[in-house]
Amino acid sequence: MLELNGYEVILASGSPRRKMFFEQLGIPFKIETFSVDESFPTGLEEVEIAKYIVTQKSLPFRKSVTSKKLIVTADTIVWCENQYLGKPKDLEQAKEMLAFLSGKSHKVITSVGFLTHKVFEILSETTIVHFKKLSSDEISHYINSQPPLDKAGAYGIQDWIGEIGITKIEGSYTNVVGLPLAQVKEHIKLLTQK
């Protein structure tokens, strides 16, 4: 278990998967979220997008962060063939995203922001995910049985579509789920020991 030296950790995410990961870390934490506009300036690419959004997510906390408070924000995006894929707005868009990812490799990029009263730091992790060619029946079955509207790129690696569709990953598995856990644990340790 991590020794937090009196720090209170706030997870600024409504993601059930990130909550589960924080529970696995074995550290006490609270969840606090604000609704944040996740649009970003045109011209940003790949990790720049995730970093921009994670910075935006930290802004509502900046005035209230006191000493011995650590706010953790996170954002995961999918980048494929120079295109950004966020969360689908409906099942039709989810179907289009999965058809686009089918038979290709893509990057899953998560940026994690760490805000204390002294610093704001971001760590970013990229994992390359390879999908087999998905049939339209497989895509339809997935989006109708496990609607992926809260997931970047319209899929969860831990879902059925990940089990049958992903042939290989290069990098952190937990990063694809939504949080590069080993790296986050080390960074929390680093910041709370200062």
Task: Please give the structure tokens belonging to residue 180.
Answer: 């590069």
Cα separation, 133 vs 17, whole angstroms: 27
Catalytic residue among 75, 90, 137, 159: 75
Cα separation, 101 vs 174, whole angstroms: 20
- The helix (run of H) or strand (run of E) holding residue 192 is helix 181-193
Q: Are 67 and 117 in contact (CB under 8 A)?
A: yes
Q: Is 159 an annotated catalytic residue? A: no
Q: What is the DSSP letter of 134?
A: P
Beta bridge partners of 73: 113
Which residues have CB under 8 Å from 10's CB, separation 6+?
29, 30, 31, 32, 61, 69, 70, 71, 72
Q: Are 147 and 154 in contact (CB under 8 A)?
A: no
Q: What sign does the CA torsion over 174, 176, 179, 183 have?
A: positive
The residues assigned a catalytic role are 75
